[in-house]
Amino acid sequence: MSAVVIHGAILLGLLYAIMVLGVFLTFRVLNYADLTVDGSLPLGAAITASLIATGTNPFLATLVAPLLGAVAGLITGILHTKFSITPLLSGILTSIGLYSINLRIMNSPNISLLRATTVYDYFSLGGLSARTGEYLAAGVVVVILVLLLYSFLHTESGLAVRATGDNEIMMRSQGVNTDNMKILGLSLSNALVALSGAMIAQYQGFADVNMGIGTIIVGLASVIIGEVLFGVKSILGKVVAVVFGSVVYRLAIALVLRLGFIEHTDLRLFTALLVTLALIAPELSKKFQANAGSKRLSA
Amino acid sequence: MLNVKSLTKIFYPGSINERVALDRVSLSLEKGQFTTIIGGNGAGKSTLLKCIAGIYQAEEGTVSLNGEEVTRLPDYRRAASICHVFQDPMVGTAASLTVEENLALALRRGDKRRLRWAIADSNRVFFQERLLSLQLGLEERLNSPVKLLSGGQRQALALLMTTLKEPKLALLDEHTASLDPKTANTVLELTEKLIENQGITTLMVTHNMEQALKMGHRTIMMHEGKIILDVSGPDRKNLTVSDLVDMFYEASGEELQQDRLLLAKGR
């Protein structure tokens, strides 16, 4: 693989890692498979790209994305908790609705940012190369968000969100409205996802209404890869593993494309198979171990 | 203290499976009174506790705590005053959280959860002190995920969690029933130490008649959604298990056929 491809994969992995942190928060912490992300990633891209294209400061434009993402998560959360719509359907409803909203925001299926100033340009100001600037921007944002997420999970609210995902009956009996905790978790998660979309759009130089399709699967794949490769127990370890999972996923995709095993057309099928395999692996290994008659499972 | 008036709970109303789980139950508890509830399967004991806790909403009747009506309040809004220990040891604690994190959740029972650190160093000292009173060695395991503890340890922890911040009312729902006899005894002793001796108003459901008579100040027997027996004071002191069986027969007009109740006489 050429250096360009590797750098591209690592950078994209870091930027998607922001989204994966969000998926980690819903899927692993809240135990909620949230499909809103397929709509909130392009939502962040769309709003930031439109704002930048119309001359808004790129930092300001980037900060608007998580706010809108949080609203998207809020809507999914309300659909699920207040109206008892299943988690999957709530997420699908929001993300389908967001497709039209994203088109409205952009007034076209895509917006180009090729000649616009983005946040990355500010990071390469002091004579740094464009790539260094991109690494710096992505690195700073990811490190800050990892620390923020880690800290949040150790606050009273964060602990309540974790307990809600673990044991809802217990959390209610301790006086916490678990509906609100789910809404909080979904909002934070989609804020991260939308921010990820905003950063990706600026990095690749465009926002596209279809860029969100399959986000949830990419997120799950990254979460699972991180867990398998860096099977750590501590919360910090888990959060960091998620970031590495995202980078490894991008590198793996770049590699298989490079080696010609699959073509771009097959990418989604490949990812779907990867996630399926990862999801059924614990079950398969259980059966395998039971057959082999070995004593204990490593949970 | 607790005032339950004419509480009625119907499961699957209007359907072919309709079942009256509570039939106009009224009950008053004085402050500090420890009351045990016995009755066969489907008598309504658990349902009564769940209606008081707010997990179930009753069709009719009212629940008041200290003169304040809470009938329509959801469970999490009642949790500041009422704490609930469940039969299943898995339900009372969060498995993936550590011992200290579970305790930290209980320390803020009924409070608004804020964006400050959930556990301060001073909390840890306090947690260790309280865990020491369980004499299960858990004070050394503050950072162990609760899923690594045994059922008995988890139930003991759940008991401690209910008392970390003193409740107005404790609801113990057969909280020793799914433990082995030895562990059940340990948890019962802890119940006496942490709850009964602290003068916390308590409703304890048990399937063990001897235990029901031995512990606390008052015993209630339920049958088919009704309270059919309510003894306390000197009457209760001289009561034996076989008296209780006779009284059940008289009050319900049926033979006491619940094997579980009869078999549970011993121990």
* Residue extents of the structural domains in chain A: 3-292
DSSP states along B169-184:
EEEEESTTTTS-HHHH
Least confident of A69-83, B134-148, B244-258: B244-258
Size of interface A-B (CB pairs under 8 A): 92
Q: What is the pLDDT of residues A221-231, one digit of tens each?
A: 999 999 988 87
Residue of A156, A188, A233 for testing the chain B interface, max B β-carbons within 10 Å: A156
Taking the CA of residue B90 and the nearest CA in chain A, the distance in Å comes to 9
B106 at A interface, C-beta within 8 A = yes
B-chain residues near A158 (CB < 8 A): 118
Residues in chain A: 299
Taking the CA of residue A257 and the nearest CA in chain B, the distance in Å comes to 38
Q: What is the 3-state secondary structure (H, E, C) of chain A?
A: CCHHHHHHHHHHHHHHHHHHHHHHHHHHHCCCCCCCHHHHHHHHHHHHHHHHHCCCCHHHHHHHHHHHHHHHHHHHHHHHHHHCCCHHHHHHHHHHHHHHHHHHHHCCCEEECCCCCCHHHHHCCCCCCHHHHHHHHHHHHHHHHHHHHHHHCCEHHHHHHHHHHHCHHHHHHCCCCHHHHHHHHHHHHHHHHHHHHHHHHHHHCEEECCCCCCHHHHHHHHHHHHHHHCCCCCHHHHHHHHHHHHHHHHHHHHHHHHCCCCCHHHHHHHHHHHHHHHHHHHHHHHHHHHHHCCCCCCC
Tell me the pLDDT band of A299, cut-offs 50, 70 and 90.
very low
Percentage of residues in chain A having pLDDT higher than 90:
75
Question: A77 with A182: CB under 8 angstroms?
Answer: yes
**pLDDT given at position A269:** 86
Nearest CB to A163 within list B76, B97, B117:
B97
Q: Which of residues 55-74 of B touch A (CB under 8 A)?
A: 55, 74
Angstrom CA distances, A230 to A154, A237, B35, stand at 21, 8, 52
B-chain residues near A177 (CB < 8 A): 74, 76-77
Percentage of residues in chain A having pLDDT higher than 70:
97
Taking the CA of residue A130 and the nearest CA in chain B, the distance in Å comes to 38
Q: Angle, nearest 10°, between helix axes A3-23 and A130-152?
A: 20
The 8-class DSSP code of residue B147 comes to: G
B166 at A interface, C-beta within 8 A = no
Residue B257: pLDDT over 80: no
Residue A295: pLDDT over 60: no
B248 contacts: CB under 8 Å, gap ≥ 6: B221, B223, B228, B229, B256
Residue B233: pLDDT over 70: yes
Q: Which has more pLDDT, B265 or B89?
A: B89
B113 at A interface, C-beta within 8 A = yes
Nearest CB to A170 within list B80, B91, B113:
B91
**CB within 8 Å: A176 and B76:** yes
Q: Residue A170: closest CA among chain B residues belongs to which residue?
A: B92
**CB within 8 Å: A156 and B75:** no
**pLDDT given at position A297:** 46
Least confident of A101-105, A203-207, B114-118: B114-118
Q: What is the pLDDT of residues A48-87, one digit of tens each?
A: 999 999 999 999 999 999 999 999 999 999 999 999 999 9
B138 at A interface, C-beta within 8 A = no
Instruction: Name the class of domain A3-292.
Output: mainly alpha
**pLDDT given at position B267:** 40
